[in-house]
Chains A and B, each alone.
Chain A
Amino acid sequence: MQMAINSLEKKVLGVLEEVHDPEINTVSIIDLGMVEEVNVQDSVVNIKILPTFLGCPALELIKENIKKAVKSIDEVQQVNVQFINHPPWTSDRISEQGRKGLKEFGIAPPPRLMDSDGSWHVDCPFCGSTYVTMENIFGPTACRSILYCKNCKNPFEAMKPISTLM
């Protein structure tokens, strides 16, 4: 992401911290690594966003929420939000803050590395136990899997690792 060089850009980045994933309200789109570029030309703000999964139904909602948030800044006359496919979004774009937010919501953050056979492991976001089983690689949304913790006996979700090496 481009560095904030003027004060309006800083303000825009500030309000984007308050735009959350509509399905995970503890994580902002900045922390998810979805904001690729913020460009300010006088009072016009151009924002480039990376979709996480192509079929994610939340994308249009996120776009509208971004527009609403940025328009709330007095100096802004116009906001353009564009989804771009290059570079591809990958799960390693999620920040430390984002990983914390996911955990607060009960979702294990995506593992940083996969084993050479493509398998991966996460710990329980509730009790931290490593004694978990994969129930379903697919889950309630495109980006999540369903697991079960054998230690604290809670079902939980994990964000799928997404990498261009796959």
Chain B
Amino acid sequence: MTELNITTNPENKAAVVSLLFQLADDDFLYSFRGSEWLGLAPHIEEDVASSSISQDSMGHAAMFYQLLEELGLDNADALAHLRPAKERRNSILVERQNGEGYYMDVPKYDWAFAVVRNYFYTAAKKIKIESLKNSSYEPLANVAVKVNIELYYHLLHWKTWFAQLLNSTEDAKQRMQAAIEQVMKDFGDVFSLGTEGEKMVEIGLIEEEKVLVQRWKEQLKPVFESLNLSIPEIPASPAANGRNFEHTEDLESAISTLSEVYRIDTAASW
């Protein structure tokens, strides 16, 4: 199927748009939460590394919003900043705050939660991007090739932290176990493709959810085996599905913070 006849059919175009919003909103919120760690990471080299990963991921979000702009939707900056929570398609996992407190006040962020969320999310993103490299929507397939190359370094980084902390002190192990439980509670919609999911699979935009989940587990297997851990189960029916616009209060506050400057003057050139 060519790019042209995918998006000339309105139903197919809706599926492409939905998938692009899922990818864009996921990376946008993921990199926003990562940016909130700036200056607070455990040591200075980690500050350099994790902010670099946030910058790359923001670049990925910008590319997905760009593809939406090219499909005739609003401009990429407006799509990123001005859409309310009830129009967002990101997973619940990436919208969750980093921990108690606020970075302008007294942030009590949880590094174990950051490591587990970032590792599990990046591993899931890797699986999706690998599938998208063969997407029937060619502009998306091309972007996926670029994103995949950069992801190599992100995955290596978070895998290293994950294994090191789980091989560390008893205190570290307990905190990591608690973080794994917390992250998995929110993992139910990460691989969900939302209400347009069947259409996406039918027209070859991406492979189906259960195939992706299976690959994610296979990818984690050697790491978990080396740590004597069993791979946690993904909740079958999540309480809220971000792909279908269901969100938590954390997303509202994230959007209001991240769009504050943009809203002051939406016509300003940067």
Number of residue pairs across A and B with beta carbons under 8 Å? 71
A72, CB-defined interface residue at 8 Å: no
A162, CB-defined interface residue at 8 Å: yes
Cβ–Cβ < 8 Å partners of A142 in chain B: 52, 55-56, 59, 150
B200, CB-defined interface residue at 8 Å: no
Given contacts A54-B63, A140-B48, whether A164 and B145 have CB atoms under 8 Å apart is yes
Tell me the A84-111 residues at the B interface (CB within 8 Å): 85-86, 88-90
B149, CB-defined interface residue at 8 Å: yes
- Which stretch of B151-159, B162-170, B171-179, B242-250 is in the interface? B151-159
Cβ–Cβ < 8 Å partners of A90 in chain B: 149
A166, CB-defined interface residue at 8 Å: yes
CA distance A138 to B156 in the complex (A): 11
Contact (Cβ within 8 A) B52 A139: yes
- Distance between A40 CB and nearest chain B CB, rounded to angstroms: 25
Cβ proximity bits B42-74 to A, threshold 8 Å, 1 near / 0 not: 000100111011011111101100000000000
Cβ–Cβ < 8 Å partners of A118 in chain B: 152, 156
Q: Which DSSP category, helix, strand, loop or mixed, fits chain B's interface?
A: helix
Cβ–Cβ < 8 Å partners of A57 in chain B: 55
Given contacts A138-B49, A139-B48, whether A163 and B56 have CB atoms under 8 Å apart is no
Cβ–Cβ < 8 Å partners of A127 in chain B: none
Tell me the B112-145 residues at the A interface (CB within 8 Å): 139, 142-143, 145
- Distance between A32 CB and nearest chain B CB, rounded to angstroms: 16
What number of A residues sit within 8 Å (CB to CB) of B?
A: 25
Contact (Cβ within 8 A) A55 B142: no
Q: Which DSSP category, helix, strand, loop or mixed, fits chain A's interface?
A: loop
Cβ 8 A contact of A135, one of B45, B153, B157: B45
B215, CB-defined interface residue at 8 Å: no
Using CB atoms, name the residue of chain A closest to B160.
Answer: A137
List B residues at the A interface (Cβ < 8 Å): 45, 48-50, 52-53, 55-60, 62-63, 139, 142-143, 145-150, 152-153, 156-157
8 interchain pairs (CB within 8 A)? A54-B150, A85-B145, A88-B145, A90-B149, A136-B48, A138-B50, A142-B56, A142-B150
- Beyond the given A54-B146, A86-B142, A136-B49, please list 17 additional residue pairs across the A-B interface where CB-CB is below 8 A: A54-B56, A55-B57, A85-B139, A85-B143, A88-B142, A89-B146, A136-B45, A136-B48, A137-B49, A138-B50, A142-B55, A142-B59, A146-B48, A163-B149, A164-B145, A166-B149, A166-B152
